[in-house]
């Protein structure tokens, strides 16, 4: 083999690498799509869960809270709040807002109905059931 690096050698390395990494990308994409139905529990999505997600989005809860690590870090992580606190606590906490404690940042009063609170709790229960590879890393979020 010659000691010189020719244009054709560079071109072959470029095209070979491009094809290899494109095939690797396709294989990993296929693997991800085949794993999602087992991990995201999409069969458990009910109309109440969908309504809870809609309320989550419309009221911009992610503007303060994180959900499975995504969102703002101003308020607590809620990916495992259902397991940590339970449905009764979640409903009572949201209904009691805003608190009157001095110096504490306040969650807005959304004036949710009982049906809306049940929908939010159903959404948080669904999120807690997703296989999230043990996120958050600590119990308190």
Give the pLDDT score at 115.
Answer: 97
In angstroms, the CA 93 to CA 108 distance is: 12
Superfamily of the domain at 42-141:
Cytochrome c-like domain (1.10.760.10)
Look over the chain and give the mean of its residue pLDDT values, rounded to a whole number: 90
More confident residue, 119 or 106: 119
Predicted TM-score of the model (pTM): 0.75
Domain ranges for the chain: 1-39, 42-141
Dihedral Cα 73, 85, 42, 133, nearest 10 deg: 60
């Amino acid at each position: 083999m010659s000691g010189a690096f020719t244009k054709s050698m560079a071109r072959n390395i470029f095209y070979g690498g491009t094809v290899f990494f494109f095939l690797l990308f396709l294989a990993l994409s296929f693997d991800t799509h085949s794993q999602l139905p087992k991990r995201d529990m999409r069969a458990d999505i009910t109309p109440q869960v969908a309504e809870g997600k809609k309320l989550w989005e419309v009221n911009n809860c992610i503007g303060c809270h994180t959900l499975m690590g995504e969102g703002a870090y101003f308020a607590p992580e809620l990916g495992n709040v259902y397991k940590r606190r339970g449905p009764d606590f979640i409903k009572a906490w949201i209904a009691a807002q805003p608190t009157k404690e001095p110096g504490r940042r306040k969650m807005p009063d959304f004036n949710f109905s009982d049906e809306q609170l049940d929908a939010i709790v159903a959404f948080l229960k669904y999120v807690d059931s997703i296989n999230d590879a043990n996120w958050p890393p600590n119990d308190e979020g």
